[in-house]
Amino acid sequence: MFHAIRSENSLTTKLLDSLYCEALVLADDARTTFGDADHDVPARETLALSCESLKVTTRLMQVIAWLLNHKAYRAGELTVTELYDENRALGHAVASEAVLLALLPPAAAELARASEELYYRVHRIAARLGVRYQEEEPVHGMMHRLESAF
């Protein structure tokens, strides 16, 4: 049973590595884009840049952490139960606002959109894998709900 769960509920190595690489590239781009921001811009644009910088960073760190958990699982460092523990779930990330994106330099706005798109792709994958895990492990799901209640 464990091997069936492992093979059906994990990401393929190719997809996992691709998503991880994309997240790291975006994180590096974020460091460059937001770190080199022009500080001689109006306060409104500076505030928008700061807000979006935090949103982009949060999204990317959530994605990277989730992907690293799956890499650890693949390497045998986590059990399937540990992998699907709610503490290892993909965290919440706030969406960008069109009004703020319009105030950003084009490169920063595009980076915010790209990080959001990556986050939502990973979010859909995480939801699909989590549902599949819960369907295959009803006892685990029930035990987890009982533990959470107490």
* Per-residue pLDDT at 44: 86
CATH class of 2-149: mainly alpha
> pLDDT tens for residues 52-68?
999 999 999 999 999 99
- Listed by start position, the domains of the chain span 2-149
Is residue 3's pLDDT more than 60? no
- CB of 91 closer than 8 Å to CB of 31: no
Backbone angles phi, psi at 85, to 5 degrees: -65, 140
Predicted structure pTM score? 0.79
Greater model confidence, 11 or 32: 32
> pLDDT tens for residues 69-128?
999 999 999 999 899 998 999 999 999 999 999 999 999 999 999 999 999 999 999 998
